[in-house]
Amino acid sequence: MMTTSARTGTARRRQEFSERLLQGSVKKSYAPIVDIDWDAPFEPDKFFLPPKVVSIYGTPLWDNMTREQRIELSRQELVNTLSAGIWFENILNQALLRKMMHQDPTAHATHYELTELGDEARHMVMFGKAIAKVGARPVQPKRYQRMIINLLPLTFRGSLLWVAALVGEEIFDSLQRQMLDDPELQPVIQRLMRIHVAEEARHIQFARDGVRRRVPHMRRFTKMWVANINGVGGLFFRRLFTNPVPYHRVGLDPGQARQMARTSRHRREVQVLGFASLAAFLDESGLMGPISRRLWRRSGFL
């Protein structure tokens, strides 16, 4: 158990760290409604995701597609990713709001959580406007998925909340950093990613700090639970990155496309690179349990 003095010291350091992040938010935050030129036309021969991160890149199926078909698949996969981003931000915001009901409303940590909540709400607007601009239908969750989305915030508490936030944010963040300077990427999408990366960097720091401060004082069962349940994230991302909806929309056989994507050596390399930083952090924190490691590897992230 954490002693009173240790608890006080940890809380004080958390407040100081939160204050620094608040100051960073004041200096560098965005309003996507005005900070992105939504009236700018798309360039006709550029991709919506860089080719190298499209799920079937480098497969025989990709090789047989025209450039126009490849661009259209990148458009549909972007819409799929942005749609999932909206639902994840929704889950995180619900969990943060529930958490704040039990906190000191004058604390810097609470104020930063409110700031993050505001950032995520603007990101949801940004993703929604991007889907509308792209001119494709959002990928809506099925009824059972919406039920899960509404239940998850009830389970994201303590260290599990911050680990879940990292799983949801770091993989996307790492992949976006690989895309930012790709010359084949649409400028509007590039701008969206730059805004998201800049603000998510603070969110990731806050979540990592939350994990670091909790891990040394976690009960054995709690640590074992958090260390092994996070591997479910690998199954989620595997499903997300090979969602049959984009394949169907561009006229591909969803089963064949999914199989090629999941067995693609290039795709595995992209996923391993995207997960590398978070995997190292989970290992360092003692939160990469044997079940999680197996699930992340099975999903193609290790």
Does the structure show a pLDDT above 80 at 11? no
Domain positions in the chain: 13-50+65-222
Residues 89 and 1: their CA atoms lie apart, in Å, by: 33
| Res 9: pLDDT | 66
What pLDDT, on a 0 to 100 scale, did the predictor assign at position 6? 54
Rounded Cα distance between 154 and 65, Å, is 44
pTM of the model: 0.90
Other beta carbons within 10 Å of 221 = 8
72: confidence class by pLDDT, cuts 50, 70, 90: very high
- How many Å apart are CA 243 and CA 255, to the nearest integer? 10
Judged against a pLDDT cut of 90, whether residue 175 lies above it is answered with no
pLDDT at residue 7, as a whole number: 59
Position 79 pLDDT exceeds 90: yes
d(CA 176, CA 199): 13
Confidence of residue 4 (pLDDT cuts 50, 70, 90): low
Whole-angstrom distance, CA of residue 215 vs CA of residue 219: 9
Residue 216, C-beta contacts closer than 8 angstroms, at least 6 positions apart: none
Confidence of residue 176 (pLDDT cuts 50, 70, 90): confident
Q: What is the CATH number of domain 13-50+65-222?
A: 1.10.620.20
pLDDT at position 179 is 79
Under the banding of pLDDT at 50, 70 and 90, the label for residue 147 is: confident
**Quick one: pLDDT band at residue 262, thresholds 50, 70, 90?**
very high
Bridge partners of 185?
Answer: 47
Mean pLDDT computed over 28-50: 90
Residue 29: pLDDT over 90: no
Mean pLDDT of the chain: 91
Looking at residue 43, its pLDDT comes to 93
Q: Give the span between the Cα atoms of 158 and 177, in whole angstroms.
A: 29
